[in-house]
Homo-oligomer: A and B are copies of this chain.
Amino acid sequence: MSKIVPVILSGGSGTRLWPVSTGTAPKQFQPLTGGDSMFLQTLGRAVDRTRFAAPLVVCGPAHVAHVEADLAAGGIADARIIVEPAARNTAPAIALAALATLADDPASTILVMPADHVMTDVPAFLDAIEAARPAVEAGALATFGITPSHPETGYGYIAAGDPLAEAPGVRAVRRFVEKPPRDKAEAMLAVGGHYWNAGIFLMRADRFLAELERQHSAMASSCAAAAAKARRDGARIHPDPDAFLASPADSIDYAVMEGAERVVVAPVDPGWSDVGGWAALHELGDKDGSGNVRIGEVIAIDATDNYLRACEGKRVAVVGVSGLIVVTHGDDILVIPRERAQEVKAIVEYLATNPPR
A residues lining the B interface (CB < 8 Å): 19, 297, 299, 301-302, 310, 313-321, 324, 326, 328, 331-337, 340, 343-344, 346-347, 350-351, 356-357
Contacts of A315 in B (CB 8 A): 331-333, 356-357
Which has the most chain B C-beta neighbours within 10 Å: A316, A331, A337?
Answer: A331
**A–B complex contacts, Cβ < 8 Å, 6 sampled:** A299-B350, A299-B351, A302-B346, A315-B333, A319-B337, A328-B333
- Please state if B301 and A347 are interface contacts (CB–CB under 8 Å): yes
Copies in the complex: 2
Is B318 a contact partner of A335 (Cβ separation < 8 A)? yes
In angstroms, Cα B310 to Cα A23, docked, is: 24
User: Known: A299-B347, A347-B301, A357-B297. Contact between A317 and B335, CB under 8 A?
Assistant: yes
Q: Which of B319, B334, B335, B344 contacts A343 (CB 8 A)?
A: B319
Q: What residue of chain B has the Cβ atom nearest to residue A328's Cβ?
A: B333
Contact in complex: B343, A301 (CB < 8 Å):
yes
CA–CA, A321 and B306, complex, Å: 14
A310 closest partner in B (C-beta): B333
User: Once bound together, how far apart are the Cα atoms of A232 and B336, in whole Å?
Assistant: 55
Give the CA-CA distance A316 to B320 in the complex, in Å. Answer: 20
